[in-house]
Structure 1
């Protein structure tokens, strides 16, 4: 009888020490709100907190000074639809079948706001179009969406408002917070149009003659004026971010709200948006989480847009989605040496809703990179580069004319006006951060190139990619001739 009592006591004790989940260990009185601020077409490093000192962004800098800045955050595509799909789901752009620009997010691809909502969060999306309900600009497409119920986001969140007018965005944000039920935590994504073209922030533009151009760009008057207009959009964006941060503090929500600022993809700039080069994929990512992230932290690890969803779910005390391929960045909140990835991947798919008349509308490419080397696979290598969103801008037309007249430098001609691209480009990003010296085919880098191709091949196979694999089958060797009967060996 005594032994039975001991057994029962031990059994009860064992139940008391079973490990619990993050959600179970959170204090019941603790509420964690999530505010996600998304800029549009925003390449790093064009913020003063990222080291670009020709503009002033005090409000976004404030976020960075009070939190964690990721220097090497990369989106999963250099295009908004493809990239935002991965941000929302924590999954590869290929895995969720979102490589066509005008595609709505499939109903079976679960977004992280849905998981937050299921756990009791009040959830919303407002501001700039979030780009994941397809494109109703084509009537025939809209008819299909209606017939098959393909526009799903009104069912995924509690609050959905889309209007890109600046004052309207702040109004939508305010309306959402006013509607949050008492006692509930909230998630809200606020999307901005800045610094997406058209550039119209005239009163915020810096002096074009006093700004620093990226080293690879031709230095012309029109290039400077266009870039100054882009920087003006960022300075205007900063003012709007400050407006929300101040209101969050006024409402007494700043201490229990994690604020994330991220760009959806790179800017519509030379070798930026629509390309797999750094300016197309590297975006600002800043996270402020009072009492959980020390002030003024900088992380240099390579991180992916896929990592956002599992990070915010862990912050909320929830498990990651079962199909998510991203890695939670929460360990980086305390450990600057945390390395979530050995390799990061990105894709370039069809862009816009037009016919594939050039590489702005239709290009297919893949990239893989680690902390030092990057491989770009241009599947449509025969087609020359054509810019996304600025092919008709005066500065580009002027550069095109200079190219025709032979007035551009050989380097500018090579970077922007080559008749054909290389199928493979290999860059040593530590020694060539501008990604201009192609090492593909160099015997000294043969093993590195093959390693990256093999890892890219693996990723493409696992993601059921439709683009031809980077390592093709070897040609079959001809069989040795059959000796004629009676012939000597």
Structure 2
């Protein structure tokens, strides 16, 4: 046991691989494959305990690595979240709360650091979302005029596709071009389980499904949820192709594989919200040389922790501006690593005008393992779903609300005229986040402490929102 601890400490020490590379017959630093699913809430994988889904390939990854049960993105939206994953810095810090913004050239992405230290690097598959958005001609003009699309200069290989077969072809093309004398890093992005849901051949039986406790149980909602799970089951088959290919190439043993969702699913009180289904995502890490298989960690993980973890395993010093924490301590001791508190933000979504809270909402959250505070800065705007406002199940719920036929508890959660400025939940007693404790005397001290910690974080990160603790009159 002592020998294993010492070996692990050596492997994780900054500069270990660089020193070893100078010695003859020493293996090169590990290859790194970062697999990113799109709009994927925890717990919707077999290995996360959801009973009616079959995800054998991703589950095998968990069996051979470490599964983090409490991993959270820095925002419930792809652009904001991916910026933090790519930089190891929170969304405010890198000024990426505007959905269509490109990552500024002055902000370093971790693949650049890998590249400078001898890695062949690539990003492929689903749009990585950090070069701005080209849907509006006037925006394209600005991007091109000022040279704001920078990722072609940050990595060796950059390619984008939404087609499943094309993603695997890009992946094999990248490996074919990777120099044999260099380790490689590649981000493989998938569109599943992002809407539109079209994985008909992968859907489970809607009537067999266990629904989240805060959802109304309707036939149309079950059908929609089954389609979502079908997307995840299809995703699993695609992930399996990559994992099998690594094994066939003899790369499995010396490749660190990370699987993570970019943010929560487009589900009721999911994507676009700071509730659990909006920011709680699966995170699995496999690396046979450092990680004993079948481990489960409940440390609090943020999306900013991915970059320092990959840099540490690669033997590259983590820059001071990176505020994430490496997860490598948890590889050897499940009690180590993680955060005491997690922070996340909600900013603009998409390119639409601020006609509802789907397009434009501003909020912040802070939580630990027991309590969560949500600060709705524009609380006057009611909840409006992201990406499914036109779906049959939602239109049916709206009709039931209009006719007074929707059960009161669901009506209050989904169709209140306005939200509360502050929401506070006991996550152990109320994991569905339905009983708002904000303002209650019995938790007043805890609520104030959370607000003070959030205020501290907002000030340090130059947040533009009003602070949660106002001066007394």
- State the TM-score, normalized to the length of structure 2: 0.96
The residue that corresponds to 1:218 in the other structure is: 216
The residue that corresponds to 1:261 in the other structure is: 259
Give the CA deviation at 1:291: 2.3
Q: Which runs of 5+ in 2 are unaligned?
A: 1-12
| In structure 1, C-alpha distance between the alignment counterparts of 2:156 and 2:18, rounded to whole Å | 25
Task: Please say if residues 22 and 314 of structure 1, whose CA atoms lie closer than 8 Å, have aligned partners that are also in contact.
Answer: no
Query: What's the CA shift string for 1:180-212, capped at 9, x where partnerless?
Result: 012100000000000000000000001111111
The residue that corresponds to 1:75 in the other structure is: 73
What's the secondary structure of 1:234's corresponding residue? Answer: helix
| In structure 2, C-alpha distance between the alignment counterparts of 1:343 and 1:190, rounded to whole Å | 29
1:22 corresponds to 2:19: no
The residue that corresponds to 2:122 in the other structure is: 124
| In structure 1, C-alpha distance between the alignment counterparts of 2:204 and 2:15, rounded to whole Å | 50
The residue that corresponds to 1:342 in the other structure is: 340
| In structure 2, C-alpha distance between the alignment counterparts of 1:20 and 1:465, rounded to whole Å | 33
| In structure 2, C-alpha distance between the alignment counterparts of 1:390 and 1:176, rounded to whole Å | 35
- Measured at CA, do residues 20 and 247 of structure 1 come closer, stay the same or move farther in structure 2, by a change above 3 Å? closer
CA RMSD in angstroms, aligned pairs only: 1.0
Give the CA deviation at 1:388: 0.3
Query: What's the CA shift string for 1:279-332, capped at 9, x where partnerless?
Result: 000000000001210010000011100000000000000011231010000001
Q: Which runs of 5+ in 1 are unaligned?
A: 1-18, 476-489
1:238 corresponds to 2:236: yes
Aligned residue runs from structure 1 range 161-310, under 5 A: 161-310=159-308
| In structure 2, C-alpha distance between the alignment counterparts of 1:322 and 1:214, rounded to whole Å | 40
The residue that corresponds to 2:62 in the other structure is: 64
The residue that corresponds to 2:9 in the other structure is: none
| In structure 1, C-alpha distance between the alignment counterparts of 2:131 and 2:15, rounded to whole Å | 34
The residue that corresponds to 1:110 in the other structure is: 108
| In structure 2, C-alpha distance between the alignment counterparts of 1:445 and 1:374, rounded to whole Å | 12
Query: What's the CA shift string for 1:258-283, capped at 9, x where partnerless?
Result: 00000000000000000000000000
Give the CA deviation at 1:431: 1.0
What's the secondary structure of 1:407's corresponding residue? Answer: coil
What's the secondary structure of 2:307's corresponding residue? Answer: helix
Task: Please say if residues 89 and 309 of structure 1, whose CA atoms lie closer than 8 Å, have aligned partners that are also in contact.
Answer: yes
What's the secondary structure of 2:299's corresponding residue? Answer: strand
| In structure 1, C-alpha distance between the alignment counterparts of 2:107 and 2:15, rounded to whole Å | 25
The residue that corresponds to 1:487 in the other structure is: none
Task: Please say if residues 79 and 351 of structure 1, whose CA atoms lie closer than 8 Å, have aligned partners that are also in contact.
Answer: yes
| In structure 2, C-alpha distance between the alignment counterparts of 1:163 and 1:24, rounded to whole Å | 35
Count of aligned positions: 457
| In structure 1, C-alpha distance between the alignment counterparts of 2:286 and 2:150, rounded to whole Å | 30
| In structure 2, C-alpha distance between the alignment counterparts of 1:396 and 1:26, rounded to whole Å | 58
The residue that corresponds to 1:432 in the other structure is: 430
- Measured at CA, do residues 70 and 20 of structure 1 come closer, stay the same or move farther in structure 2, by a change above 3 Å? closer
The residue that corresponds to 1:5 in the other structure is: none
Query: What's the CA shift string for 1:356-409, capped at 9, x where partnerless?
Result: 000000000000001111000000101100000000111100000000011110
| In structure 1, C-alpha distance between the alignment counterparts of 2:349 and 2:83, rounded to whole Å | 14
| In structure 1, C-alpha distance between the alignment counterparts of 2:130 and 2:465, rounded to whole Å | 23
- State the TM-score, normalized to the length of structure 1: 0.92
Give the CA deviation at 1:39: 0.1
314-323 or 450-459: which moved more? 314-323
| In structure 2, C-alpha distance between the alignment counterparts of 1:110 and 1:316, rounded to whole Å | 17
The residue that corresponds to 2:325 in the other structure is: 327
1:48 corresponds to 2:46: yes
- Measured at CA, do residues 20 and 129 of structure 1 come closer, stay the same or move farther in structure 2, by a change above 3 Å? closer
The residue that corresponds to 1:392 in the other structure is: 390
Give the CA deviation at 1:23: 4.2
What's the secondary structure of 1:411's corresponding residue? Answer: helix
| In structure 2, C-alpha distance between the alignment counterparts of 1:251 and 1:22, rounded to whole Å | 26
Give the CA deviation at 1:340: 2.2
